[in-house]
Chain A
Amino acid sequence: MSAATAPAPAPAPARARGSKEKVWLVAWLFLLPSFLGFAIFTVGPVIAAAVISLLDWNLFSPPTFVWFENFGRLTGDPTFWASLRNTAIFTFTSVPLSILVSLLLALLLNRGVRWITGFRSLLLLPYATITVAVSFVWMWLYIPTDGLVNRVLGLVGIDGPAWLVSDVWAMPALVFMSVWKSFGFAMVILLAGMQGIPETLYEAARVDGASAWQRFRSITLPMLSPAMFFVVVTSIIGSFQVFDQALIMTNGGPGTSTTTLVMYIYRTGFENYNQGYAAAQSLVLFAFIALITAAQFLTQRRLVHYDQ
């Protein structure tokens, strides 16, 4: 077909083009509040933190540029490394434990329990309660002499430790409390995921003679992997930001045994008035969370199944 004979593309009617532009405009207007919020409350502070990390600034006096001095200081700061180690220990113990407890409870509730809604709400209560209140309650539970935890341990002949003042047991005490506090959220997500698995898959497996364990391993776990992935990613991010319970229950002690990175950032910035150094620490935390999340997204290709 020659160019001379080819029919020229029909020009879009001006009215239709204008209408399309208006749709785009309306779409952008609807998105604008969200974008503005994201820019003002997320992008802006991240950029500000990056700039502040290059400053020596005590909040009151004019700041001075020290470039990467704050990052260099991190390497020789024993409290920073201790808090980073504590945060990692907290995350990599509390998250697996929390997911294990949630998975077991979700499996139980998924077995057609009566009053499932009531149980689900009850088990979600710790998650819905504010951490500060829960922390105070757990401080009472952990009292070495009269606390419920040690009384229960005493019933089975175990002499419980002085939980919150022991440099060995303070961190496990925080982990146990945090698992109790957070399992409800993961349980609800996993339960929702389980209820979305087609019953036909289990029926087919039963016909083929698969045992309960085989059905769990070959159907439930793979089909639950997207929900599990979501829970793991959000739990790890949340755990890296642990602050409230450590501040209230142990104030980071004894020594630095429960000082977490966010607590140390808070102290550096708002108690020691060293905004630049605090910003440098927060960027390191940001980098760690980003790296771990990226690693999770890379591994999900092999471990997470989105097909039905």
Chain B
Amino acid sequence: MAETATPSRWLPRRPWEGVLADGHFGKADETGVTVQTREALGIATLITGEDSHAALDAAMYEHFRLSLPRTPMAVRSGSRQAVWSGPGQWLLVADSREGFRGDLAKLAGLAAVSDQSDGRAVLSLSGPRVRDLLAKGAMLDLHPAAFPVGTAASTSIAYLGVTLWRSADSPEGPVFEIMVARSMAGSFWSWLSASAAEFGYAVTSRRASSADRG
């Protein structure tokens, strides 16, 4: 029996596409956790020698008004964030990919710059039970006294490497941004969806326009 030929087409695909669906899940009538996908971010790793990043510091401030943190912190200026990820290592995260390549070109020669925009998947987590959810996976003290707004951490959840940081609070409470390797998005979601079910959770994916797909 002849097999139907599979059409060979390469199409851009968002990192959470086919992994999660919009809607309300888990415990009915309660929304303990709100999950929002972060689409079409510009993401890059910046790596320098631990003690040789003065030129990168200066360029980051000159071009983006970002002061690179020396400790596990995330700082934001306008539409861009710098997230500490190790000694002499940072993530540059831009809310949009528009102009992101130009941003990275400005850092050429100052650091090992690697565009990871299609290599990472990011969720924004909030809601009254968000800390209870994260406590099931992250071996970190996320109490507001120990993990105030702006704190960042690289750690593992369910044996998956994650980078998480606390961005500015929303009117509903704390907001955690959580980044995983895109190839692990499905595995991470299986942990998150199972762990959040008892609290009830709502998922919203913000649709990216085709122009943002970079």
Question: Is this pair of chains taken from one and the same complex?
Answer: no
